[in-house]
Amino acid sequence: MASRRPASIWLWLGIAAAVVLLDQITKTLITRSFQLNEVRTFTPFFDLVRAHNTGAAFSFLAGASGWQRWFFIGLGAVAAVFIVWLLARHGGQRLFCWALSLILGGAIGNVVDRILHGHVVDFIQVHWGGAYFPSFNVADSAISVGAAFLILDELLRIRKAR
């Protein structure tokens, strides 16, 4: 039986680059079409809104004095280097590498925003019955899907080990 060759790191970096590109295109469209805090309702549970987040997920540290911008840029850079290292070592583990590629693309997409603007542009808003989930973007979505893939990969690995 022929062994399957591990996927090249370039495949995984290409996926991450596609996430960054999609993220930056959508953020550019929003910043050109919306004023800050402008909301356009599309369904009873979905809006587009232009929001700026100087913090992390769920606006964590958004009220800090500005140091968080550089902290999150540094954290994103360190995470990106570590993820690229993992991709190089585990290129044949497809689900694991899909997860890492999505997380890498999302992290870089948000780091680009912090470098260029000093904040992350969020624009997707979901809500139901008056309860609003914090606004997010394509990068955040990629990170979340990547995290779910990491969990699934680990569950499958545990199941296979039994």
Q: Which residues are catalytic?
A: 122, 140
Instruction: For residue 5, give the nearest of 75, 84, 130, 93 by alpha carbon.
Output: 93
* Max intra-chain CA distance, the chain: 60
Cα distance between residue 98 and residue 133, in whole Å: 26
The residue assigned the tokens 């542009």 is: 121
Helix axes 94-117, 9-33, angle to 10 degrees: 40
Q: What DSSP designation does 62 have?
A: T
Please provide the size of the chain in residues: 162
